[in-house]
Amino acid sequence: MGNLVVVGVDGSSSSLAAVEQAAREAQRRRSDLRVVNALSWPVRPMHTPLDPSPLDRLVNDAADRARSVAPELQVTAAVVTGEPVAVLEAESRAADLVVVGPRGMGGFIGLLLGSTAASLAAHAQCPVMVAREEPAEAGPIVLGVDGSQVGEEAVEFAFAEAALRGAEVVAAHAWLPDYAPPGTGVESAERLLAQAVAGRTENYPDVTVRREVLSGETREVLIEASRTAQLMVVGARGRGGFAGLLLGSVSQALLHHAHCSVTVVRGKT
């Protein structure tokens, strides 16, 4: 972990909350912070020049807000022409983490209420954190485990994040007894969890991990678990997903309904 955290801003209260959380994330990582607004005016009178000056003020004010949270941060600000998802996907190529708010106005309208957050989480080249306006400062990092290859990257992110925050990891796997194939009892689910976190304690000796097999439908039990978490971490697409779907239904449900901030881990491609 390392060098750059990017945050998308649009002047809304939720994006300013995202700026504050992004500043804390950059501070934990000893990274630089880049504040970005997407300049996208698809409908305007012909020959009317784009005037970015209000947006320049917007990103500079957001950068000042980040510095108020973490005065030692190296913060840059930019207004980039383009659609929000395309702009932030491009920014993600050089970033360790992209942070956005749950809903916005202007350049980032529709976050969570529409498809913007899901699209970004599906296409970004690094983990995407959707920050809640009132982020929890305490509680565990809840990690949704399904045993998939994509999920392994989420496991690594969760442990690294827990080490940065001094938090516990709760590795959670949902199990439906009524739908489990014969011979795959709760012991099978417990083995899956154990295998998923195996070796992580050696790399993160100061991180406590608790394994929990939760009885119920995956989306429902993880949303409930998010009530007491400070962060939920999931992979972009897990087992059982269609090959063409870049973001699974569980990840999408958490982006919409989790009670804490959510990080979707897709990883570099």
What confidence tens digit (pLDDT) does each residue in 148-198 have?
A: 766 788 999 999 999 999 999 999 998 877 655 555 668 888 998 999 999
Indicate the range of 8-12, 52-56, 230-234 predicted with least confidence. 52-56
Dump pLDDT digits (tens) for 181-194. Answer: 555 668 888 998 99
**Among 114-128, 140-154, 200-214, whose mean pLDDT is lowest?**
114-128
* Nearby residues of 133 by Cβ (< 8 Å), 6 or more positions away: 13, 14, 17, 101, 102
Distance of CA 22 to the CA centre of its chain: 11
| H or E stretch at 231 | strand 231-235
Q: At what angle do helices 249-257 and 116-123 cross, to 10 degrees?
A: 130
Q: How far apart are CA 37 and CA 80, in angstroms?
A: 6
